[in-house]
Amino acid sequence: MAVFTKEQYDSLIEAIAAGVTNVSYSGKVINYRSIEDMIRVARLMRRDLGLDKGGTLSTNLYYKNRRFL
């Protein structure tokens, strides 16, 4: 069973792409120390949710948002 939800993952990816270190979902706000910490958590979420289908997180973010971090 997944520890994380797709909603949490999507919110985290949007925040990373926007360059902010706080994430809101389900009425909660999570503050991270850095974008690097957020990317590490996003990788954990991808594995946990079974979304890790190849490619790197930065590559996948580029294609989703048309820019690199």
Residue-level pLDDT at 59: 47
In a domain, 50, yes or no: yes
Instruction: Give 47-68 pLDDT, tens digit per residue.
Output: 899 887 765 555 455 445 544 4
Q: What is the bridge-based pairing of β-strands 28-31 and 22-25?
A: antiparallel
Q: What's the domain count of the chain?
A: 1
Residue 38 pLDDT grade (very low, low, confident, very high; cuts 50, 70, 90): very high
- Is the Cβ–Cβ distance between 49 and 4 less than 8 Å? yes
- Is the Cβ–Cβ distance between 39 and 16 less than 8 Å? yes
DSSP code string of 1-69? --SS-HHHHHHHHHHHHHT-SEEEETTEEEE-S-HHHHHHHHHHHHHHHT---SS-HHHHHHHHHSS--
Residue 26 pLDDT grade (very low, low, confident, very high; cuts 50, 70, 90): confident
Q: Which domain holds residue 27?
A: 6-65
In a domain, 46, yes or no: yes
